[in-house]
Each structure stands twice: as C-alpha cells, then as structure tokens.
C-alpha cells in the first residue's frame, strides 16, 4: 500500500545505511515486520510513550522486506492506488 511505498522511497533515499524510528506501542509490530528492532525499553518524553528502534538498510532490502521494484518504475515513484 501507500505506507510501504513511502517507506521504500525513504530507504532508497537513505545514504547512511541505517534508519531509526520512535515507535508508538501500536506500531511496534509494523516496524518489526519492516525489519526494525527495539534498541531500548519503552520511554516517555513529553508525555508520549515510544520505543526507539533501528534497522540496517541492507537488511531490509536483503531480506526482501521491500524491493526496489516497489520504489522505482522507469525512474519515478509509483502512482498511488486508484
């Protein structure tokens, strides 16, 4: 869907080789399916609960969690679903 396509674009645009997110408890499983892993226990900042997570870009692409075909088709981002 749109979320996976946006994530794929972010991966392709990332030159650092690593991505981090601060995930709400509701999104932990989504990020884990995308290859992220928690790097600390849940924290609270400004009244917002989150878990800091990270992943290596090569792990995401290498494990086929996303494919470059989802991102680039003839040099442009995919069209949104109808």
Per-residue pLDDT, 63? 57
Q: How far separated are the first and last CA of the chain, in Å rounded?
A: 11
- pLDDT tens string 14-59: 888 888 999 999 999 999 988 899 999 999 999 999 999 998 877 6
Query: Bridge-partner residues for 53, per DSSP?
Result: 21, 38
Task: Assign 65 a pLDDT band (cuts: 50, 70, 90).
Answer: low
CB neighbour list of residue 22: distance below 8 Å, 6 or more residues apart: 50, 51, 52, 53
Q: What is the pLDDT of residue 50?
A: 96
């Amino acid at each position: 869907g749109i979320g996976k396509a946006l994530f794929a674009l972010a991966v392709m645009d990332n030159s650092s080789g690593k991505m981090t997110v601060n995930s709400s408890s509701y999104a932990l499983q989504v990020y884990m399916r995308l290859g992220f892993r928690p790097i600390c226990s849940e924290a609270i900042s400004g009244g917002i609960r989150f878990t800091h997570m990270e992943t290596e870009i090569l792990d995401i692409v290498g494990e086929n969690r996303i494919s470059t075909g989802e991102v680039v088709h003839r040099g442009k981002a995919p069209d949104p679903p109808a």
